[in-house]
């Protein structure tokens, strides 16, 4: 396979010829070499050439369904693509107390790393108003599916990606229970997790900054 960083043999001989010419007319070459590209003001390339582009460069290859399935781990608030499996609060407690407790604390509040649990202040969302209020899954996260998605990717920090789907559903259930969002007998799976309504669900708004004189 040809690495583009390396030069082809043909290219190499061209380079050698250049070097030779360079020795002879060094100054001229240097001058040409320093000629700036015609700027288009955007710091990019000149918009041209695409007219000559083929409909496809035929670079790259088709991805197989199996390859996609292996990497396609995300799922969003609607739960589409959520993996099979399930876990209860009790099962989640067992997972948590082995895999998470050391970094997130016995009740999910005491750290040393991110606090996962906390509903204070119960009815408000004063994070913009007041400095230093601790954001947790219970008082700040808008979607329960994000717990699965994130833990599945990144936790436990020292062994990321090591939990089964059942274990991730279970630990999500336990964290939601500790946050007083679901009851102790709840079971989380591809249907129930997306159905959980988080306390901060309606707090998020699109970016309204648009430039111009107004400071937002």
Partner 1 sequence: MGSISRRAMLGATGGLIAGGLLKTQADALTVAEESAGPQTAQADPTKMMGAPTSVLGQRAPGEQPRRRMGNPAVTSSSRTPIEELPGIITPADLHFERHHAGVPAIDPDRYELLIHGMVDRPMTFTLDDLKRFPAESRLCFIECSGNGGAAYNRNANPERSPGQIDGLFSTSEWTGVPLATLLREVGVGRGASWVLAEGGDAAVMSRSIPLEKALDDAMIAYGQNGEAIRPAQGYPARLLLPGWEGNAQVKWIRRLELSDRPSMTRDETSKYTDPLDDGTARQFSFVMDAKSTITFPAYPYVLPERGWWEIRGLAWSGRGRITRVEVSTDGGRNWAPAQLQEPILSKCTTRFRHVWNWDGGEALLMSRAIDETGYVQPDLETQIAARGEGTSYHYNSIRPWRVEPDGRVFFAQGDGG
Q: Is 103 in the site for ligand HEC (CB under 6 A)?
A: yes
**Residue 112 touches which of partner 1, ligand HEC, none (CB < 5 to 8 A by kind)?**
none
Nearer to ligand HEC, 171 or 198 (CB): 171
Terminal-residue alpha carbon distance, the chain? 52
Q: Any bridge partners for residue 189, and if so which?
A: 86
> What does the binding site for partner 1 look like in residue numbers (CB under 8 A)?
1-5, 39, 41-45, 49, 53, 56-57, 59-63, 67-68, 71-78, 124-133, 135, 137, 140-143, 145-146, 149-150, 153-154, 157, 160-161, 203-213, 215-216
**Residue 51 touches which of partner 1, ligand HEC, none (CB < 5 to 8 A by kind)?**
none
User: Least separation, in Å, of the C-beta of 107 and ligand HEC?
Assistant: 13
Q: How far is CA 15 from CA 7, 24, 129, in A?
A: 9, 14, 63
What tokens does 45 get? 């390339």
Contact between residue 113 and residue 157 where contact means Cβ atoms under 8 Å apart? yes
Contact string (CB under 6 A) for ligand HEC, positions 43-72, x = contact: ------------------------------
Q: Is 127 in the site for ligand HEC (CB under 6 A)?
A: no
d(CA 2, CA 105): 52
172, containing H or E segment? helix 165-178
Q: Is 155 in the site for ligand HEC (CB under 6 A)?
A: yes
Neighbours of 212 (CB within 10 A): 7
d(CA 63, CA 60): 9
By CB under 6 A, name the binding residues for ligand HEC. Answer: 99-100, 102-104, 113-114, 116, 147, 150-151, 155-158, 171
């Amino acid at each position: 396979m040809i690495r583009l960083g390396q030069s082809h043999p043909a290219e190499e001989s061209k380079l050698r010829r250049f070097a030779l010419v360079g020795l002879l007319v060094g100054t001229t070459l240097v001058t040409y070499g320093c000629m700036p590209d015609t700027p288009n003001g955007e710091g990019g390339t000149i918009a041209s050439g695409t007219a000559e582009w083929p409909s496809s460069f035929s670079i790259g290859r088709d991805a197989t369904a199996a390859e996609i399935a292996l990497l396609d781990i995300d799922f969003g608030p609607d739960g589409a693509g959520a993996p099979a499996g399930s876990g209860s609060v009790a099962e989640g407690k067992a997972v948590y107390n082995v895999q998470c407790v050391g970094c997130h604390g016995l009740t999910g509040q005491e750290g040393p790393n991110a606090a996962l649990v906390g509903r204070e202040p119960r009815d408000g969302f004063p994070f913009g108003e007041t400095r230093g209020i601790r954001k947790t899954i219970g008082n700040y996260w808008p979607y329960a599916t994000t717990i699965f998605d994130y833990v599945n990717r990144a936790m436990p920090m020292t062994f990321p990606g090591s939990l089964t789907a059942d274990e991730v559903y279970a630990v999500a259930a336990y964290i939601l229970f500790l946050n007083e969002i679901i009851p102790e007998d709840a079971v989380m799976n591809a249907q129930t997790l997306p159905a959980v309504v988080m306390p901060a669900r309606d707090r998020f708004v699109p970016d309204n900054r648009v430039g111009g004189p107004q400071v937002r």
